[in-house]
A and B are shown apart, each in its own frame.
Chain A
Amino acid sequence: MTEFVPARTAGIPPPREVLRTVLRRQARPLTIAAVGSCVHQACEALVPLAIGLAVQNAVAGGDLSDALLAVAGVLALFAVLATGGGLAFYLNARSVSREAHRLRSDATARILADPAAGAGRTAGEWASVLTSDATATAQAARARSNVVSGAVGLAVTAAVLLRIDLWLGLGTLLTVPPLILGIDAISPRLEARLRERSQAAGLAAALAAELVRALAPLRAFGGTGEALRRYRAATARCLDADLAAASANAVVAAVGLVSTAFVTVAIAAAAGWMAFNGRIDVGQFVTVVAMASFVGDPVSRIAFGVQQLSAARAGAARIAPLLGPPPLLGTPPRDDAERGHGHAAPTGLDQEPVILENVSAGPIRALTLRLDPGAAVGVVAVDPAAAATLLAILSGRQAPSTGSARLGGRPLHAIARHGLDFRILVVPHQIHLLGRTLTEALQTGRDTDPARMRAALATASAADLPEQLTEAGANLSGGQRQRVAVARALAAEPAVLVLSDPLTALDAVTEDQVAARLIATRRAQGGATVVLTTSPPLLSRCDHVLYIDAQGTVLDAAHAELMSEPGYAAAVLR
Chain B
Amino acid sequence: MTALPVATGRRTLSTMLRLARSHPRDCVATGVWTVAAALATVTGPLLLGALVDAVGSRHRGSAGPLLALLAVVGVAGAILSALAQRAIVALAARITAALREKILGRVLTLDSTVVHGAGSGDVTSRVTEDMEIFSEAAPLLAEVFAAAVTVAVSFVGFSSLDWRLAAAFVIVFPVYALSLRGYLPKAGARYAAERRAAADRTQTILESLHGAATVEAFGMAPLQAERVAAASARATEAGISALRLSLWLTKTMNGAEALGLSAILLTGSLLVHGHVIAVGAVAAAALLFHRLFDPLGTLLGSFDDVQRAGAALSRIVGVAGMPGAEPVSVRAPDGPVAIEVRGVRHSYDGTADVVRAMDLTVPAGTSVAVVGASGAGKSTLAAILAGLLPSSAGTTALRDARGTVASADLGEAGRSRWIGMVAQDTHVFTGTLREDLTLAVPDADDHRISAALATAGARWAAALPDGLDTRIGPDGLHLDPAQAQQLALARIALADPPVVVLDEASAEAGSAHAHELEEAATALMRGRTAVVVAHRLSQARVCDRVLVMDHGRVVEQGTHDELLARDGRYAVLWRMWTMRTHTPAEPVQAVSGSSARPARG
Contacts and interface: CB of A to CB of B under 8 A. Distances in A.
Interface stretch (B395-403, B421-429, B455-463): B421-429
A58 interface: yes
Contacts of A118: 209, 212
Contacts of B442: 226, 229
B94 to A, nearest CB: 7
A272 interface: yes
A127 B286 contact: no
B25 to A, nearest CB: 13
B298 interface: no
Give 8 nearest A-B pairs by CB, closest first: A222-B416, A421-B219, A432-B211, A257-B78, A78-B258, A445-B223, A534-B511, A254-B82
Contact of B201 (A51, A131, A207, A229): A131
A212 B135 contact: no
B212 A536 contact: no
A434 B214 contact: yes
A507 B504 CA distance: 10
Interface in A82-136: 82, 85-86, 89-90, 93-94, 97-98, 100-101, 104-105, 108-109, 111-113, 115, 118, 123-124, 126-127, 130-131
Nearest to A229: B442
Interface stretch (A1-9, A165-173, A213-221, A310-318): A213-221
B216 interface: yes
Contacts of A273: 63
A111 B112 CA distance: 40
Name the residue among A66, A115, A440 with the largest chain B CB count within 10 angstroms.
A115
Nearest to B233: A101
A260 interface: yes
Nearest to B578: A573
Contacts of B75: 258, 261-262, 265
B51 A272 contact: yes
A104 B239 CA distance: 15
20 contacts: A62-B269, A66-B269, A71-B262, A101-B232, A105-B229, A109-B222, A123-B209, A124-B206, A131-B205, A201-B132, A208-B131, A217-B488, A219-B112, A239-B96, A250-B86, A286-B286, A434-B207, A445-B218, A445-B223, A513-B587
A113 B222 contact: yes
B424 A477 contact: yes
Interface in B224-267: 224-225, 227-229, 232-233, 235-236, 239-240, 243-244, 246-247, 250-251, 254-255, 257-258, 261-262, 265-266
B543 to A, nearest CB: 15
Interface string B49-68: 00110111010100100110
A485 to B, nearest CB: 9
Size category of the binding interface on chain A: 35 or more
A209 interface: yes
Given A124-B206, A228-B108, A492 B218 contact: yes
A254 B79 contact: yes
Nearest to B105: A228
A221 B67 CA distance: 72
A269 interface: yes
A71 B266 contact: yes
B17 interface: no
Contact of B89 (A246, A501, A512): A246
A26 to B, nearest CB: 13
B209 A254 contact: no
Given A231-B101, A285-B51, 15 more contacts: A74-B258, A109-B229, A112-B208, A113-B225, A127-B202, A218-B439, A243-B90, A249-B85, A258-B75, A262-B74, A268-B67, A272-B63, A422-B219, A431-B214, A433-B211
A471 interface: yes
A208 B104 contact: yes
Interface string B181-205: 0000000000000000000011101
Of A54, A422, A431, which is in contact with the most chain B CB atoms at under 10 Å from its CB? A54
Contacts of A329: none
A118 B421 CA distance: 41
A206 interface: yes
Contacts of B374: 477, 479, 506-507, 509-510
Interface string A234-256: 01101100110111011101100
Contacts of A540: 579, 583
Contacts of A101: 229, 232-233, 235-236
A467 B515 CA distance: 36
B208 A434 contact: yes
Nearest to B412: A224
B32 interface: no
Given A205-B132, A504-B508, A535-B511, A250 B578 contact: no
A67 B510 contact: no
Contacts of A451: none
A574 interface: yes
Contact of A268 (B48, B93, B135): B48
Interface in A434-448: 434-435, 440, 443-445
A208 B206 CA distance: 20
A171 B224 CA distance: 61
Nearest to B413: A225
A221 B240 contact: no
Interface in B76-120: 77-79, 81-83, 85-86, 89-90, 93-94, 96-97, 100-101, 104-105, 107-110, 112, 115, 120
Contacts of A77: 258
A275 interface: yes
Contacts of B488: 217, 221
B588 A509 contact: yes
A209 B123 CA distance: 10
Contacts of B221: 109, 112-113
Contact of A508 (B132, B135, B283, B577): B577
A85 B251 CA distance: 8
B350 interface: no
A78 B105 CA distance: 53
A509 B227 contact: no
Contacts of B222: 109, 113, 341, 445
Contacts of A479: 374, 507
Nearest to B492: A221
Contacts of B207: 432, 434, 471-472
A243 B93 contact: yes
A286 B240 contact: no
Interface stretch (B151-159, B332-340, B341-349, B533-541): B533-541
B290 interface: yes
Nearest to B435: A230
Between B223, B235, B495, the greatest number of chain A beta carbons within 10 A of the residue's beta carbon is seen for B223
Contacts of B100: 204, 208, 231, 235, 238
A64 interface: yes
B269 A58 contact: yes
Contacts of A254: 78-79, 81-83
Contact of B244 (A60, A90, A253): A90
